[in-house]
Every structure is written in C-alpha cells, then in structure tokens.
Amino acid sequence: MSDKKGNKKVGLIGCGAIGTVLAEAIERKIVVCDELVVYDFDASKAQKLQSTLNFPVTIVESVDELLALKPKVIVEAASQQAAKDYVPKIVSAGIELIVMSTGALLSLNVDLSRVHVPSGAIGGLDALASAALAGIDEVVLTSRKNPKALETDNKEEKIVYEGYAEEAARLFPREMNVAATLALTVKPAKVKVRVVSDPSVKRNTHEIQVKWRFGEMFLRFANDPHPENPRTSALAAWSAIKLLQSLLKT
C-alpha cells in the first residue's frame, strides 16, 4: 500500500522550468523516490517531460487522479491560480505538499501544518523567523531584475513597483514569490517591497534589510535566472529539491 512508511512516490503539478529541474534531480538520483506522478493542465508539457526521462513517470489527467495514487509528497510548481485551486484539496487528503507559488498562501485559509514553503530564491529564513518571534520593526525587500524577466522594455533603471508584499505577489504572481515567502516568514510584520527593472543586471537580485528588536540584518542574493524562464531563479528549484529530500526521509 502507498501509505506505508516505504512509500517514496512523488507527485508533481506543473511541468515547466521548476518541475523539469526537479524531475531531472530525480533522474540523477539526487532525490531518491520510487515513482514520479505528473500533472499539467497542458498535457503536452507532461508528455514532453516524460519523454526526456528514463525514470518511471506516470502522467495523470487531473489532480483527483494524482491524489488517488497517494504520493507521499506533492510539489506544486505551476502557478498561483493552480495553488489556490488545489492546495485545499491536497491538504484535505493529508498529503505533504511543497508550494512554490507561495503568493497563493497569503489569501488561503487552510491548515498549513502539511504545507511546506521552500526558501526559494533567498535564504536566511531561519534567522528571520527567529527575529520575528522577538519582534521585527521593519523589513524591506528590493528585487532587481532584467526587464525581460518583468516583461518590460525600459532602457534605463526603473522602479516598477513600491508597496507591500501581499500586493506585489498579486501583481507579479510569477516574479515575486520571494515577497510572499518573506511575508509568511516574518508575519505579523509587514514586508515593504521595491521592484526594480534594470537592464544592466543579468541576475535576479534580492536585497533584504531587517531592523528587529536586538539588531539589524542585511541579506543579498544574486541568482542566475533559469535559462528557459527568466522569471525564475535556478536557486528556487534547488530549494524545492532540498526540501523534497528532507520530506522523503521522514
């Protein structure tokens, strides 16, 4: 039965850039599992992914069919809308879930005890969560990306958004999951966000400034974008892989 401790079946929703990196990690045995079950709204993407792998891959036609196969862990790597549609159903099924489209979690009222958020394109979340317990006065995230990643064509540096994380994640659902992850980590503190479109940068850069009860923090991450999806940092996919490794060992 799939619910025994030996269950090492992984479900994947979304066969885009992140889903492909994750599947390749399974193929290379970086993640050890028995079977990969994939679903994509665009069935051709699932078929294309399956064709590139030697590892056992089962394609399903719906999330209900995916749940019926009872994977130990499911990874959502599709979109905020997909997460909003499927997270409640997966949570109700009692399956461990990794959510990449973290912006969706800001508006969902569900039990998050089995929902896991990878660090994504940033790190240091353990320190930020610890500071949040003591009390955070201010968190400012400045994200700097090439115009191509933001679908703009400005020739000079331009601030395209200033506001708070919740709105940033809604307005930039694919580009600002970092803001949502920060907001979930430091709540109830609010995260101020500045998004900069900068043609001079080649890497997705995130700078986090924190003032808290007992000091200050400054974290900076400059990540190569995924070659097939400039909106996504390669580190985001690898953070999901690391988290998946841990969950499969439990």
Active site residues: 206
CB distance 25 to 31 below 8 Å:
yes
Measured CA to CA in angstroms, residue 188 lies from 129, 139, 165, 185, 191 at distances of: 11, 11, 12, 9, 9
Instruction: Fill in the amino acid letter for 61.
Output: E
**At a CB cut-off of 8 Å and minimum separation 6, what does 111 contact?**
91
CB distance 98 to 34 below 8 Å:
no
How far apart CA 208 and CA 188 sit, in angstroms, is: 17
CB distance 234 to 148 below 8 Å:
no
How is residue 9 written in tokens? 């079946």
CB distance 178 to 101 below 8 Å:
no
For the chain, the straight-line distance linking the first and the last C-alpha, in angstroms and rounded, comes to 17
Where do we find the tokens 């694919």? 174
Q: Kindly report the length of the chain.
A: 250
